[in-house]
Amino acid sequence: MSKSVAAASGHALWAKMPKANAELFALTYGSLVTELIRDYDSIEEINEQLEKMGYSIGVRCVDEFLAKSEQHGMTVPTCQNLKDTAEVVAKTGFRMFLGISCDVTMAPDGNAFSLFMYENPLALFVELPKTNDMPTAAGGATKKWEDLKYSNLYCGILRGSLEQINLRVSCEYIRDVLQGEEVNEIRVTLREVLQDGAGDDYKEE
């Protein structure tokens, strides 16, 4: 039941959000990744940078999400468990910001879920080079393109936004269409449910 509610809110919010050109979005991200590749020597550093950037976007994203949904009169029901959270993220959140919808599969133990994305607005027009080496600036180790997680930004966004609602998670990109798979898969694993972080100062006296 919650699935269709989340999907319906997603569609409705998407219709009301002001839009920007997706090609511009993809090209900006592409030029950012190009600059990162110019700067950093190892692919791991690039992936890490992308995740960090995603983290700071995610921190602000969740506020935007809650504010916009309230502004348009759409109440997001409180999530009772990780499954509900996953549904809301995939159906409402992704649709509202990116106009795409994702599928969610829960892990059997209920502590993790996988997001499947069939379209990726960040990766429009992108192809990764087939050859495994590329001349690097400093003449360091050759880079292997199969290790590059091009859309690692999403992982950071998920981690950042879920941390703001007290769920500490780790996200990982499992399958990537750019690497030749059929679907983009992100695995989100719940590590810890955080306590409310306000601390003793804010407790009533």
Indicate the DSSP class of residue 147: G
**Where does this chain touch another protein (CB under 8 A) — which range of 69-77, 82-90, 117-125, 189-197?**
117-125
C-alpha 133/C-alpha 146 separation (Å) is: 10
3-state secondary structure of 186: strand
How many residues interact with another protein (rule CB under 8 A)?
Answer: 51
Query: What's the full length of the chain, in residues?
Result: 205
* Residue 101 binds another protein (CB under 8 A): yes
* Residue 139 binds another protein (CB under 8 A): no
Going by C-beta distance under 8 Å and a sequence separation of 6 or more, which residues neighbour residue 98?
121
* Residue 98 binds another protein (CB under 8 A): yes
Dihedral sign computed on CA atoms, order 114, 55, 87, 4: negative
* Residue 79 binds another protein (CB under 8 A): no
The least CB distance from residue 159 to another protein, in Å, is 14
**Where does this chain touch another protein (CB under 8 A) — which range of 76-84, 123-131, 165-173, 197-205?**
123-131
* Residue 14 binds another protein (CB under 8 A): yes
* Residue selected from 8, 60, 66, 111 as contacting another protein according to rule CB under 8 A: 60
Token readout for 198 is 């306000």
**Residue 112 or 153 having the CB closest to another protein:** 153
* Residue 89 binds another protein (CB under 8 A): no
Sheet holding 112-117, edge to edge: 102-106, 112-117, 184-193, 167-175
* Residue 43 binds another protein (CB under 8 A): no
C-alpha 63/C-alpha 80 separation (Å) is: 20
* Residue 163 binds another protein (CB under 8 A): no
**Residue 40 or 189 having the CB closest to another protein:** 40
